[in-house]
Chain A
């Protein structure tokens, strides 16, 4: 799980072009869409959906699932693990 979270952080930085953020800056439990976390917005949410398909082969079609899955790195990693186990 540790390496999946690291990979996710790297992928998010690249996909969202977070020029001044490093892997170390993103806490596993930081809220991605909160100004005290990464402060992402709705366009970033679409980019995260693309990221899930591009790097992990997972299609997210239910918006309610996305709301929970994209809360933090922890929840994203958990969502990926669960979908891959299904």
Chain B
């Protein structure tokens, strides 16, 4: 039986590179420079001032990307909102913990309320008044892949359009504990947010086709698992026009280390998915792309996407 395919109808990313509202960014961006900073739009164009004032970095990024995506796709209300985040709202968590140590008596509630991992998905739904399924997946470096799998299952069950995304934010302490968070990686730790509208049917806005997503735990041989995943999709690694990989793996052919572009954060594979979507718009020779997320060696996330025209 053929696996069902799904369509990406919109994509939006805020990162340390000029990715937001910049179709074709994949052909102009280069590796991150040291001391790069997050490139943010004027959030007032995407978020009501009353809400914006109490939003931290990760919330601003997420809500702006989500709203941009819905506008691109022409979807007013998605059937569901699914978000993946590895470490959640760190800025508010840190703020709340700091005040709890320094202030006696009552603690300011906003940072506490907004410190939970599901604040992004919640704020997106509040912003657009959405009452549908609202879910946050936190599975370390595979959080975004799990959100994608959830969204794909919902589409199989009858939903039409799902807003699916990922976000993680940098705070200073992450540099100190990087060896534990991303063993063996040595790039800069960054913040980033990517959102997509995933649709069941092909429409005029279709930018890419999601063929398959898989997560594998306790991985010992990445290449072996990639081979098995490709075989499961009746393809071989030679059929791929581009492989987007995380860090240190060695792949034959046209392969790009996406962590050099996104920097390191738990859900950087969502950046890679937008990069693949963008490549399809700018390079018509690229048809099949594999995103191989081995940011943590024992956790492997695989996403196979193809161009709409292929």
For chain B, residues 52 to 99, give those with C-beta under 8 angstroms from any C-beta of chain A: 52-54
Could you tell me the distance between the alpha carbons of A17 and B55 in the complex, rounded to whole angstroms?
A: 10
Counting CB contacts under 8 A, is A54 at the interface? yes
Asked whether A49 lies within 8 Å of B110 as measured between CB atoms, the reply is no
Counting CB contacts under 8 A, is B128 at the interface? no
Counting CB contacts under 8 A, is A68 at the interface? no
Residues 99-131 of chain B, each 1 if its beta carbon lies under 8 Å from chain A, else 0: 000010111111001000000000000000000
* B51: nearest chain-A partner, CB-CB: A41
Interfacial residues, chain A to chain B (CB-CB below 8 A): 15-20, 39, 41, 43, 46-47, 49-50, 53-54, 59
Asked whether A46 lies within 8 Å of B105 as measured between CB atoms, the reply is no
Asked whether A43 lies within 8 Å of B54 as measured between CB atoms, the reply is yes
Residues of B within 8 Å of A59, CB to CB, are 105-106
User: In angstroms, how far is the closest chain A Cβ from the Cβ of B187?
Assistant: 32
* B55: nearest chain-A partner, CB-CB: A17
Name the one of A19, A41, A53 contacting B105, with C-beta atoms under 8 angstroms: A53
Counting CB contacts under 8 A, is B173 at the interface? no
Residues of B within 8 Å of A47, CB to CB, are 108-110
Pair count A-B, CB < 8 A: 32
Counting CB contacts under 8 A, is B49 at the interface? yes
Residues of A within 8 Å of B110, CB to CB, are 43, 46-47
Asked whether B113 lies within 8 Å of A43 as measured between CB atoms, the reply is yes
Residues of A within 8 Å of B109, CB to CB, are 43, 46-47, 50
Residues of A within 8 Å of B50, CB to CB, are 39, 41
Known pairs A50-B107, A54-B105; list 10 more (Cβ under 8 Å). A16-B54, A17-B54, A19-B52, A19-B53, A39-B50, A47-B108, A50-B108, A54-B103, A59-B105, A59-B106
Residues of A within 8 Å of B108, CB to CB, are 15, 47, 50
List 16 interface pairs A-B (beta carbons < 8 Å), by A numbering: A17-B53, A19-B52, A20-B49, A39-B50, A41-B50, A43-B113, A47-B108, A47-B109, A47-B110, A50-B106, A53-B105, A53-B106, A54-B103, A54-B105, A54-B106, A59-B105
Interfacial residues, chain B to chain A (CB-CB below 8 A): 49-50, 52-54, 103, 105-110, 113
Could you tell me the distance between the alpha carbons of A39 and B54 in the complex, rounded to whole angstroms?
A: 14
Asked whether A49 lies within 8 Å of B53 as measured between CB atoms, the reply is no
Could you tell me the distance between the alpha carbons of A16 and B105 in the complex, rounded to whole angstroms?
A: 18
Pairs of residues from A and B, 5 with the lowest C-beta to C-beta distance, nearest first: A46-B109, A17-B53, A50-B106, A50-B108, A53-B106
Asked whether A16 lies within 8 Å of B107 as measured between CB atoms, the reply is no
Could you tell me the distance between the alpha carbons of A15 and B109 in the complex, rounded to whole angstroms?
A: 11
User: In angstroms, how far is the closest chain B Cβ from the Cβ of A56?
Assistant: 12
Could you tell me the distance between the alpha carbons of A49 and B108 in the complex, rounded to whole angstroms?
A: 9
Could you tell me the distance between the alpha carbons of A16 and B55 in the complex, rounded to whole angstroms?
A: 11
Could you tell me the distance between the alpha carbons of A16 and B106 in the complex, rounded to whole angstroms?
A: 15
Could you tell me the distance between the alpha carbons of A74 and B44 in the complex, rounded to whole angstroms?
A: 31
Residues of B within 8 Å of A41, CB to CB, are 50
* B105: nearest chain-A partner, CB-CB: A53
A16/B113 contact (C-beta < 8 A), A49-B106, A50-B108 known: no
User: In angstroms, how far is the closest chain A Cβ from the Cβ of B79?
Assistant: 28
Could you tell me the distance between the alpha carbons of A50 and B100 in the complex, rounded to whole angstroms?
A: 13
Could you tell me the distance between the alpha carbons of A41 and B50 in the complex, rounded to whole angstroms?
A: 9
Asked whether A18 lies within 8 Å of B105 as measured between CB atoms, the reply is no
* A45: nearest chain-B partner, CB-CB: B109
Residues of B within 8 Å of A17, CB to CB, are 53-54
Could you tell me the distance between the alpha carbons of A7 and B103 in the complex, rounded to whole angstroms?
A: 20
